[in-house]
Amino acid sequence: MRDEDIPLSVRNLTIRYGERTAVEDLSFDVHPGKIYGLLGPNGAGKTSTLKAILGLVEKSSGRAFVYGKDVRDDPVYVKNRIGVVLESPVLFDSLTPNEFMEFVASIRKVDNRGRIEHLVNAFGLQEYMETPIASLSMGNRQKTTIVAALMSEPPLLLLDEPFNGLDIRSVKIFKELILNHVRRGNSVLFSTHILDVVEKICDEVGILNNGRMVEHGTMDDLRKRLEGSDLEEIFLKATKMDEEIESILRAFE
Ligand code: ATP
């Protein structure tokens, strides 16, 4: 496969914040038409990895290629191919969802107004479109960033804990939209702590612990290798938390 056909290729990525190494020598690929789930305990380095792919981390080494190009070499090429859900920056708090979406639509050159309206309706945001983002509930803020990420139908979605705060209806709709997205040959990388979503929709899973990839593969690969029946068991074994949890619980007996 040619480099420009690979949605994401992370190579030897290392991220440091001062003395602390948040991510160390991380390499993985996201393939066309596939969903990759990035798992890991709090502080494992998931958000830092997503930020580095977008060029938002200062001290990093290694490379992350989006359809063959590193964001540091060609930011416009990369950003035009990615839809992003990160924690919404405070900067946008004074805008309404309507203004924020207009802003994103203008940068991303989205002229399919019908798609924006469909997304707004799908997530039930109509009645909040003129409310300042700062006054929205956590779930409605999250839905606003999701609509902004999906509106230009970018071939790669990078989503940091995208299901946070969403109600059950919105989780279901969002999962189906993600599946539609990959059926058309697009790709998704997302981080999450919600294991049943990962089991249901991910083609490949990577488990980070202390900044290192401790396991990765398809659910079947991981089940076989770690002899776990479900992802919770696999995750706890891969991060060696199974024994730790047992000893913590013994202290309560
Ligand atoms: P969570 O599941 O809690 O969101 P995560 O896997 O996304 O965690 P990161 O946010 O990438 O983890 O953090 C990885 C490590 O880097 C943590 O130890 C964190 O404290 C540290 N870190 C992250 N951002 C910064 C920063 N801007 N300055 C200093 N340290 C940071």
State the Rg of the chain over Cα.
19
**DSSP H or E segment with residue 214:** strand 212-217
47 lines ligand 1 (CB under 6 A): yes
Query: Does 229 have pLDDT greater than 90?
Result: no
The identity of residue 84, as a single letter, is V
Hey, which residues does 66 pair with through a beta bridge?
A: 8, 69
Question: Token digits for 251?
Answer: 């202290």
Output phi, psi for 28, to 5 deg.
-165, 165
Q: Please tell me the predicted confidence (pLDDT) of residue 58.
A: 81
Q: Please tell me the predicted confidence (pLDDT) of residue 148.
A: 94
What does the H/E/C string look like for 139-187?
HHHHHHHHHHHHCCCCCEEEEECCCCCCCHHHHHHHHHHHHHHHHCCCE
Of 14-18, 102-106, 159-163, 226-230, the poorest mean pLDDT is in: 226-230
Query: For strand 156-160 and strand 82-85, is the pairing parallel, antiparallel, or unpaired?
Result: parallel
Output the pTM of the full model: 0.93
- For residue 210, the CA-to-ligand 1 centroid distance in Å is 10
Q: Would you list the domain boundaries of the chain?
A: 82-153
Query: Does 251 have pLDDT greater than 80?
Result: yes
Span 119-156, pLDDT tens digits: 999 999 999 999 999 999 999 999 999 999 999 999 99
Residues 6+ apart with CB under 8 A from 214: 207, 208, 238, 239
192 lines ligand 1 (CB under 6 A): no
Strands (E), 1-110: 8-17, 20-30, 35-39, 60-66, 69-70, 82-85
pLDDT tier for residue 89 given thresholds of 50, 70 and 90: low
Span 16-64, pLDDT tens digits: 999 999 999 999 999 999 999 999 999 999 999 999 999 998 878 999 9
Residue nearest (by alpha carbon) to ligand 1 atom 18: 43
Specify whether the CB–CB gap between 222 and 228 falls below 8 A: yes
Atom of ligand 1 at shortest range from CA of 15: 16
Atom of ligand 1 at shortest range from CA of 160: 7
Atom of ligand 1 at shortest range from CA of 41: 2
- For residue 47, the CA-to-ligand 1 centroid distance in Å is 7
Span 76-85, pLDDT tens digits: 999 999 999 9
Q: Please tell me the predicted confidence (pLDDT) of residue 115.
A: 92
User: Taking all residues of the chain, what is their mean pLDDT, rounded to a whole number?
Assistant: 93
Q: Within 13 Å and on the Cβ side, how many CA atoms surround 4?
A: 1
pLDDT tier for residue 224 given thresholds of 50, 70 and 90: confident
Cβ burial of 126 (10 Å; 0-12, 13-18, 19+) is: exposed
Query: Does 6 have pLDDT greater than 80?
Result: yes
Question: Token digits for 11?
Answer: 């190579």
- For the chain, the residue count is 253
